[in-house]
Amino acid sequence: MGRRSTFSDDDVFAAVGRMLVRDGEVRMQSVVEQTGVSVGSLYHRFGSREGLLARAWLDTLAAFHARFLAALDQPGEVPGLAAALETPRFCRDEPDKALILVCCRRSELMSDDTPEALQAELATVNDRVMAAIEAFCRRTGLPLEIARLGLIGFPLGAVKLYMPGAPVPEALDEEIERAYRAVVLPRLVSS
C-alpha cells in the first residue's frame, strides 16, 4: 500500500497563482517555501515545474468549466445570463483559482517543456465549453460572436478591473448583467 499524500494540490495551486501574479514566474523552491511541501514530493506528484504549471491551469479550468456549463444549461428569463454571472461568482468563491484563470495566460503556464500528454490535454481543454456555447447559439439563434462577448468577454474584462489587486465586488454582477442584457437580449428577441 502506498503512502498517503500529506499535501493538498489546491494549496500548491494557490501558491502557483500567487507567485505568477506577484513574481511573474514560478520556481519550485518558491513553492516549497510557500507550502512547506518537499521538492521531492512536488516532483513526484507533478513530474516537473512544467507539469505543475499545466496541472494548475487544468485544475482551474475544470473547476470553472463545471460551474459555467451547469449555469449555461439553467433555464431563465434571459438565456445564458446565469453563465455570464459565473465568472464574478467564481472569482469570489474561489479566489486562489481565479488568480490563475483571470490573471494568467495559457502561454505563461505552458511551454515546449510541458509533458506531451499534458500538452494534448491542454489543446482540447476548451472544446467541451465551445461545443456548449455553439449549442446554446443554435438553441437561441444568437450569433457566436455575440454569445462569446456576453458569456466570456464582458465578464472576464469586468473582473480583470479588480483582480489581482482587489476582490471582485458583488455589485459588479449588476453591471455585467446590464451589459449582457444590452448586447445579447436584443439579438435574442429579434431571432
Degrees, nearest 5: CA angle 12-14-17:
115
The architecture that CATH gives domain 50-190 is Orthogonal Bundle (1.10)
The list of the chain residues with pLDDT below 70 reads 1-5, 107-109, 189-191
97 with 63: CB under 8 angstroms? yes
Give dist(CA 98, CA 116) in Å, integer. 26
Q: What is the pLDDT of residues 63-118, one digit of tens each?
A: 999 999 999 998 888 999 999 999 999 999 999 899 988 877 776 667 778 788 88
pLDDT of residue 1: 44
Greatest CA separation found in the chain? Answer: 62
Give dist(CA 127, CA 133) in Å, integer. 10
What value does the mean pLDDT of the chain take?
A: 89
pTM of the model: 0.87
**Sequence spans of domains, the chain:** 50-190
162 with 90: CB under 8 angstroms? no
